Structure 1
């Protein structure tokens, strides 16, 4: 979000497609859209539509804490339908090199890199340390009289863990 806001402050007015698109990664484009949604919600960015129908993003000064507490500020949200086909269409509308957000490199997962990284064992926090205990009801000397109170008294306290 900080990187995106710095780009907005530097450029003042940008096309939404240029701001969020990442030619190499659909996932990073979605993450950029998510970051923009937080900037809009917090009042740090504004999205307007110009006369041509283009979405323009501009930076804004966030409202002060006093305004928020007094209720003078209303938070804005936006809904933006975006899927893989929309991303492909966006790539055709944004020229190569006009993407504003930098590409975040994926972490190298080769074996040599993994061997050099320190590892932390994952502990399972449970009482039985992985042992499975099943509960069985053991009934001894089941009464033949059919009296329900005797059956209940016999069952009570006769559970045993195996």
Structure 2
């Protein structure tokens, strides 16, 4: 190793020691109180702030070396025949007995997490097939452990196997009381047969069936022509009765539906600018007017929209407030549909 490498190594060690000293100064009194409670429970001292710095530095060095060794030999420890992980746990247990401060405990936890992750990866790589697990060899060793190989080959005496020895060996690795479980396979369960429901076809009386009404182009055109005719009728009636209150004009005291229709037809005239609503007097007053020209819009005229909501209760209240007994717009005859034709 060259002089520069040694100098670099010493510098890194000095930096780690300086960081460790700063970390020690940041330990709070809460850790001391918490450790004192644990000491009372366990009956031993788990935290010792007076532990010598040389011993703490030695512990950190050993832990860091062990962590670096584990990371460098990661692939080697994942092999089934490797005992590196077991040696890691043994060394960590030996070092943990001397840990009395939080920083060293943190390094111990980091090493434990790294070792556990490698253990999980190693377990996932295990394959219980004929190449890695020999059932015959396992049974032969199990019989030998239970004393089955101690008799002579020429003797016909049958020696009982010592199953208690296997039980005592297995009891070291489990503290759980064995319970009996059941699998679905071995149980004799009667399979429930699915009931087949017979669906009967619904017989409909062809005479009672009604074909859907089909609208023709002439029916649609007639409806459009009727809307245009009613809009013109509303325009002519307003010309004869202007100026007039907005509600007194559209409300039909005999029909709520035709009141809504009158409002619908009037909206076309207001949209086209043929009718204006003046509310300077505090009441909406309808009057005919000249539709705005393109010059008016160029001068800054802006179109506005007004959404009005009316229901049965409001309709009845307006009739009582304005004392409307007769509709200004005559009541229209309702249309009836017969055999696909609209009659009015």
TM-score class, shorter:
0.5 to 0.7
Residues 79-118 of structure 1 aligned to structure 2 (within 5 Å): 79-92=307-320, 93-97=322-326, 99-108=327-336, 114=338
Structure 2 residue aligned with 1:36: 266
Write the deviation string for residues 106-136 of structure 1: whole angstroms up to 9, x where unpaired: 1256xxxx4xxx647xxxxxxxxxxxxxxxx
CA distance in 2, matches of 1:8, 1:18: 11
- 8 Å CA contact retained: 1:17, 1:94: no
Helix, strand or coil at the partner of 2:266: helix
- 8 Å CA contact retained: 2:253, 2:324: no
More helix by share: 2
Which residue of 290, 300, 307 corresponds with 1:61? 290
Structure 2 residue aligned with 1:77: 305
Change (3 A) 1:69 1:80: closer
Helix, strand or coil at the partner of 2:261: helix
CA distance in 2, matches of 1:46, 1:74: 14
- 8 Å CA contact retained: 1:40, 1:76: no
Change (3 A) 1:72 1:27: same
CA distance in 1, matches of 2:295, 2:264: 25
Matched, 1:49 2:272: no
The gaps in structure 1 that reach 5 residues or longer are 121-162
CA distance in 2, matches of 1:71, 1:50: 23
Structure 1 position 56, deviation (Å): 0.6
Structure 1 position 68, deviation (Å): 7.8
Structure 1 position 73, deviation (Å): 4.8
Helix, strand or coil at the partner of 1:6: helix
- 8 Å CA contact retained: 1:43, 1:75: no
Q: Name which structure has the greater RCO, CA cutoff 8 Å, separation 6+.
A: 1
Matched, 1:11 2:245: no
- 8 Å CA contact retained: 2:273, 2:292: yes
Runs (4 or more) in structure 1 with deviation over 3 Å come to 66-74
**Structure 1 vs Structure 2 CA RMSD:** 2.5
Helix, strand or coil at the partner of 1:94: coil
Helix, strand or coil at the partner of 2:237: helix
CA distance in 2, matches of 1:71, 1:3: 32
- 8 Å CA contact retained: 1:37, 1:78: no
More strand by share: 1
CA distance in 2, matches of 1:4, 1:50: 24
Q: Which has the larger radius of gyration?
A: 2
Structure 1 position 78, deviation (Å): 1.4
Give the count of matched residue pairs.
110
CA distance in 2, matches of 1:76, 1:9: 23
